[in-house]
């Protein structure tokens, strides 16, 4: 959630947070997950929607089927304009974050409500019950299959592939758009999926079309990854530099060294 709020702030959106689970984690591992009771999650959602105009919703880790259903119910009742679903299933450390009973509920109840769903290759495979490779045709087929389940747009991310170029596939039911960029050689990839989906959510109300929001969100993410070496956080997969542009502007104004 901290990566989400940093991303919203960096991209000119005001982020509000609803807690679905607490995690004990660092850059190396996840040591524990504490789920919020479903009734309290519902109370958080209804309290926020009752007061604040919500232009876009970004959904991250929902560890159980009960929590998935609470969020789906709230979306159906409050009808936000944009919904970005990041089907977080496995942490960067390899720790499993989504219980098996939640996968079917997420597929059936949240996918049809999503403006954009942003699975990486393993997550797309989990949702479809098969392996999804980084071959473009396979990614295209996976995006089409997920879109057929109800999501308006599907962004299958190729970051878990092995090539020197990372290609994502954006599909809207009619056209598959390939978005490619050179792979950045770094271990600082903690929170890449959260950051990209949050960037898309922040930019959807600010851009004329979904593809524009996705392109600009990817550009922001790549900049945050490239600048991550300016930070020294942890001994595992370090975080991205969410405020790289803000810090750069500050240094330009104050004359501080990088």
Tokens 């789920």 appear where? 35
Rounded to the nearest angstrom, the gap between the alpha carbon of residue 174 and the centroid of all alpha carbons in its chain is: 23
**The pLDDT of residue 1:** 84
Torsion region of 154: left, alpha or beta (phi above 0 gives left; psi -120 to 50 gives alpha): beta
Residue 16: active-site member: no
Residue 7: active-site member: no
Residue 115: active-site member: no
Residue 12: active-site member: no
For 209, phi then psi, to 5°, come to -150, 160
Which residues, 6 or more positions from 172, have their beta carbon under 8 angstroms from its beta carbon? 147, 152, 153, 210
Q: Are 225 and 188 in contact (CB under 8 A)?
A: yes
**The pLDDT of residue 67:** 96
**The pLDDT of residue 97:** 67
Catalytic residue among 159, 191, 223, 238: 191
Residue 192: active-site member: yes
Catalytic residue among 23, 27, 186, 189: 189
**The pLDDT of residue 93:** 57
Catalytic residue among 158, 193, 223, 238: 193
Catalytic residue among 58, 157, 158, 223: 157
How far apart, in whole angstroms, are the C-alpha atoms of residue 242 and residue 230? Answer: 11
**The pLDDT of residue 232:** 94
Catalytic residue among 194, 195, 223, 238: 194
**The pLDDT of residue 196:** 98
How far apart, in whole angstroms, are the C-alpha atoms of residue 42 and residue 20? Answer: 10
Q: Note down pLDDT in tens along the chain; length 258 residues.
A: 899 999 999 999 999 999 999 989 999 988 998 999 999 999 999 999 999 999 999 999 998 999 999 999 999 999 999 999 999 886 655 556 677 788 889 999 999 999 999 999 999 999 999 999 999 999 999 999 999 999 999 999 999 998 899 999 999 999 999 999 999 999 999 999 999 999 999 999 999 999 999 999 999 999 999 999 999 999 999 999 999 999 988 888 887 766
Query: Secondary structure of the chain: what % helix, strand, coil (to 5)?
Result: 45, 15, 35
Q: Which of 13, 63, 67 is nearest to 44 (CA)?
A: 67
In the three-class reduction of DSSP (H, G, I as helix; E, B as strand; rest coil), residue 100 is classed as helix
**The pLDDT of residue 162:** 87
Q: Are 195 and 58 in contact (CB under 8 A)?
A: no
Catalytic residue among 192, 195, 223, 238: 192
DSSP result, 186-254: -S--BTHHHHHHHHHHHHGGGSSSHHHHHHHHHHHHHHHHHGGGG----SSSPBP-TTHHHHHHHHHHH
Residue 157: active-site member: yes
Domains of the chain plus CATH, in order, are 2-251 (3.40.1190.20)
């Amino acid at each position: 959630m901290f990566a989400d709020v940093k991303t919203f702030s960096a991209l000119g959106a005001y982020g509000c947070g609803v807690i679905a689970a607490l995690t004990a984690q660092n850059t190396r591992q996840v040591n524990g997950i504490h789920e919020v009771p479903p009734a309290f999650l519902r109370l958080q959602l209804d309290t926020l929607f009752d007061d604040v105009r919500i232009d876009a919703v970004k959904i991250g880790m929902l560890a159980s089927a009960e929590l998935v259903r609470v969020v789906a119910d709230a979306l159906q009742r409050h009808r936000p304009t944009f919904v970005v679903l990041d089907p977080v299933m496995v942490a960067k450390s390899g720790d499993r974050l989504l219980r098996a009973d939640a996968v079917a509920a997420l597929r059936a109840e949240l996918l049809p409500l999503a403006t954009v769903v942003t699975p990486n290759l393993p997550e797309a495979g989990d949702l479809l019950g098969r392996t999804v490779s980084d071959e473009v045709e396979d990614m295209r087929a996976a995006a089409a299959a997920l879109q057929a389940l109800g999501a308006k747009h599907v962004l299958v991310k190729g970051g878990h592939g092995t090539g020197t170029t990372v290609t994502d596939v954006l599909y809207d039911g009619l056209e598959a758009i390939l978005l490619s960029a050179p792979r950045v050689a770094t271990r600082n990839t903690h929170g890449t999926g959260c950051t990209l989906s949050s960037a898309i959510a922040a930019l959807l109300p600010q851009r004329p079309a979904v593809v524009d929001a996705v392109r600009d969100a990817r550009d922001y993410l790549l900049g945050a990854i490239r600048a991550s070496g300016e930070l020294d956080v942890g001994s595992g997969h370090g975080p991205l530099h969410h405020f790289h542009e803000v810090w750069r502007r500050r240094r330009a104004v104050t004359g501080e060294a990088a």
